[in-house]
Amino acid sequence: MTDTSRLLQAYDDQLRTDAETPSAISVARLGPLRLVTFLGGRGFVTYRDLDGADDARVRALVDEAVAHFRADGGITSVEWKSRGHDHAPGLHEALLAHGFVPEDPESIMIGEAAALAVDVPLPDGVTLRRVTEEPDVRAMSTMSDEVFGDPPSDRTANQILRRLELDDGMELWVAEADGQIVTAGRLEPVAGTEFAGVWGGCTRPEWRGRGIYRALTAARARSALTLGKTMVHSDSTEYSRPILERYGFVKVSTTTPYAWER
């Protein structure tokens, strides 16, 4: 096996079941599918693989999954998380038929935490810290909503605060300048595996290109190492992918979320 093949197998074996849904309110099984409900009326569909399903079986799984979430009036949105290396004949068409909209694909990146845990100089006046208090969490969530172009809401902050109450290992990190959060991201250690995930990374446009995201990622990697996690994974945009590649990370596949709104 090539290095990429080994990393992809580790991803499939260790990161594609409970590892994806530590804050789930409930999880229902439908054949190979995991139908997950999160706080705030969010549904989520994931799986290790589709058990070799043919086109007809894939359509049936999508039909039944959509019926499951439609039957729960509290569900207002659903994400179906697809992977580019899966054998999933007809999945794209079946999801479109039910009103799912594909979002931009992201690169699944994997590498060694030690390769990221380097010293990165920060611009004058910029500092890094881990946040745990509610006002900081809400400020971080508001900044993330603005950067990602989402309407400001309390939903993300409430979900993150619930995660902190669960004390499942998630860490929140920010970079600040003049009391304003300019970069943010999460570290998600995956219990029972060698992995930690870096998620939610975003930087205000006027602060990009100054090494702040790299510094925040390095801080998260150092924290991962102290927790005994030797590998880091990330679903990366075209902005963050080149940064990880410079530290030896490998693109093992792609992931495309499909979004449904009631």
State whether 118 and 242 are in the same domain. Answer: yes
Q: For residue 238, what pLDDT is reported?
A: 85
Residue 239 lies in a domain: yes
Distances (CA, A) of 92 to 13, 16, 33, 89, 148: 24, 20, 16, 8, 25
Residue 8 lies in a domain: no
> Residues 213-222: what's their mean pLDDT?
94
Distances (CA, A) of 43 to 26, 70, 114, 230, 262: 10, 10, 35, 31, 11
State whether 42 and 126 are in the same domain. Answer: no
Q: For residue 2, what pLDDT is reported?
A: 58
Residue 125 lies in a domain: yes
State whether 133 and 78 are in the same domain. Answer: no
State whether 147 and 229 are in the same domain. Answer: yes
State whether 39 and 135 are in the same domain. Answer: no
Between 3 and 43, residue with greater pLDDT: 43
Q: How confident is the model at residue 78 (pLDDT cuts 50, 70, 90)?
A: very high
Domain boundary pick from 57, 87, 106: 106
State whether 174 and 215 are in the same domain. Answer: yes
State whether 233 and 147 are in the same domain. Answer: yes
State whether 118 and 244 are in the same domain. Answer: yes
Q: What is the mean pLDDT of the chain?
A: 93
Assess whether pLDDT exceeds 90 at residue 231: yes
State whether 121 and 84 are in the same domain. Answer: no
Question: What one-letter code names the amino acid at 191?
Answer: A
CATH code at 234? 3.40.630.30
State whether 91 and 121 are in the same domain. Answer: no
Residue 10 lies in a domain: no
Between 3 and 107, residue with greater pLDDT: 107
Residue 9 lies in a domain: no
Provide the domain limits for residue 218.
111-253
Assess whether pLDDT exceeds 60 at residue 247: yes
State whether 99 and 122 are in the same domain. Answer: no
> Residues 124-147: what's their mean pLDDT?
94
